[in-house]
Amino acid sequence: MKINRGFLQLNDRYLFSRIARKVQEYRGEHPGQEVLNLGIGDWTLPLGPAVLTAMERAVMELGSAETFRGYGEEQGYAFLRQAVCRYYAAKGVELAESEVFIGDGAKSDMGNILDLFAPESTVLIPDPVYPAYLDTNIMAGRSVKFLAGSRENRFLPLPPADLRADIVYICSPNNPTGSVYSREQLKEWVAWALAQEAIILFDSAYEAYIQDPDLPTSIYQIPGAQQCAIEFCSLSKTAGFTGVRCGYTVVPHGLVRDGISLNELWLRRQTTKFNGVSYITQRGAEAALSERGLQESRASISTYMANARVIAETLRDLGFWFTGGENAPYIWLQCPQGMSSWEFFDLLLHNCGLVGTPGSGFGRCGEGFFRLTAFARREDISRAMERLRSRY
Ligand code: MLT
């Protein structure tokens, strides 16, 4: 028996597990010391009444023989796929129900989608970016090229015309930098992918945070994208489903390579390896995408965006360079005095009892940067910023 040696190329721990362990050690060494966590981007507000009522009703349906449900429809229930289509229609994007696949979150689908591509495919990953993209490719033994983000390009790299790759990841709004590609910039990516016959894996997990109406919230708002892009989104950051677990992946029928429909391949993959998300969750997700559900989650998102403004104001006063926080729940700052990301992590933890995410965990170009999340209770954000002002 031979193990998959790809795993040996990974860091010993996934970024957020490493942070959690460091915080646990700190707590052990400093009992009674309060730690304020602006590290992992996890929703903190309660679910809204629209979602709760729908899920309660679904639970009760399972308790009666007439309304009991067993295995669900293979791509997800039609009621939820239709709700996703309506959500896109409101953005000016027409999708067929059969192009939408319900899953348990963007992270799983973005890892699983790699089943569709030949092992020798060349992968392009912007740096810095969400670490699961790189780790899943390393596990699969693929060769990866990086595209450097920097202060100069506002962490929004564009494809050089001579760059060859089969698969490219785009995360917009970007995790960790909070930068968002403009329509013109996404047009460049789509033109590049069409010319190369490459596939864009577009992660729109944070699209609901975009405040500027001129910025695209879906790659399919760009003409030609239905021939070159798969879009992944989830209700984690849109409606507080980080614990409930529900997301969706759009694989357009126009996406054909070597004469083969990627939609059909993904359906084949999902029906073989996945048995769907629970009925209760899908009813909750349908409610989250209803008018009332969207209103309720917009109110929560406004709270997080107000948190982001509090963080931004503090950083501005303290003279930090930073980006993000305007159309995304993340703020990406440059560590002071040339410190490395982990040095700054330790300094904040020890001096302020404050946890953030070291930028180097998102890629080599993230070294010397640091991410703070606006997903926290307002009082914690205020206290964290007070500590930063007085103790840093
Ligand atoms: C993050 O903090 O980057 C995210 O919450 C992690 C995730 O979405 O898996």
361-384 tens-digit pLDDT: 999 999 999 999 999 999 999 999
Which has more pLDDT, 293 or 33? 293
Report how far ligand 1's centroid is from the alpha carbon of 259 (Å): 36
The predicted model scores a pTM of 0.96
Region 39-67: mean pLDDT is 97
What is the average pLDDT across 84-107?
Answer: 98
How far does the centroid of ligand 1 lie from the alpha carbon of residue 5, in Å?
26
Q: What is the 3-state secondary structure (H, E, C) of the chain?
A: CCCCHHHHHCCCCCHHHHHHHHHHHHHHHCCCCCCEECCCCCCCCCCCHHHHHHHHHHHHHHCCCCCCCCCCCCCCCHHHHHHHHHHHHCCCCCCCHHHEEEECCHHHHHHHHHHHCCCCCEEEEEECCCHHHHHHHHHCCCEEEEEECCCCCCCCCCCCCCCCCCEEEEECCCCCCCCCCCHHHHHHHHHHHHHHCCEEEEECCCHHHCCCCCCCCCHHHCCCHHHCEEEEEECHHHHCCCCCCCEEEECCCCCEECCEEHHHHHHHHHHHHCCCCCHHHHHHHHHHCCHHHHHHHHHHHHHHHHHHHHHHHHHHHHCCCEEECCCCCEEEEECHHHCCHHHHHHHHHHHHCEECEEHHHHCHHHCCEEEEECCCCHHHHHHHHHHHHHHC
Question: 15-29, 50-64, 305-319: which has the minimum mean pLDDT?
Answer: 15-29
Per-residue confidence (pLDDT) for residue 303, from 0 to 100: 98
- Please name the residue whose Cα sits nearest to atom 4 of ligand 1: 41
pLDDT band at 72 (very low <50, low <70, confident <90, very high): very high
Residue 104's pLDDT is 98
**Measuring from each residue's beta carbon to the nearest atom of ligand 1, which residues come in under 6 Å?**
40-42, 107, 175
Dist. CA 360 → ligand 1 center (Å): 15
Confidence of residue 14 (pLDDT cuts 50, 70, 90): confident
Third-level CATH fold of 49-291: Aspartate Aminotransferase; domain 2 (3.40.640)
- Determine which of 155-164, 304-313, 314-323 has the lowest per-residue pLDDT on average: 155-164
Closest Cα to atom 3, ligand 1: which residue? 41
* Closest protein CA for atom 9 of ligand 1: 107
Query: pLDDT tens digits for 332-354?
Result: 999 999 999 999 999 999 999 99
What residue type is 72 in one-letter code? G
Q: Which of 14, 15, 175, 304 to probe ligand 1 with, by most ligand atoms within 8 A of CB?
A: 175
All CATH 3.40.640.10 domain ranges of the chain, comma separated, are 49-291
Question: Domain 5-47+293-391 - what CATH class?
Answer: alpha beta
Cα 261 to ligand 1 centroid, rounded to whole Å? 31
Atom of ligand 1 nearest to the CA of 132: 9
CATH 3.90.1150.10 domain extents, the chain: 5-47+293-391
Mean pLDDT over each residue of the chain, to the nearest integer? 96
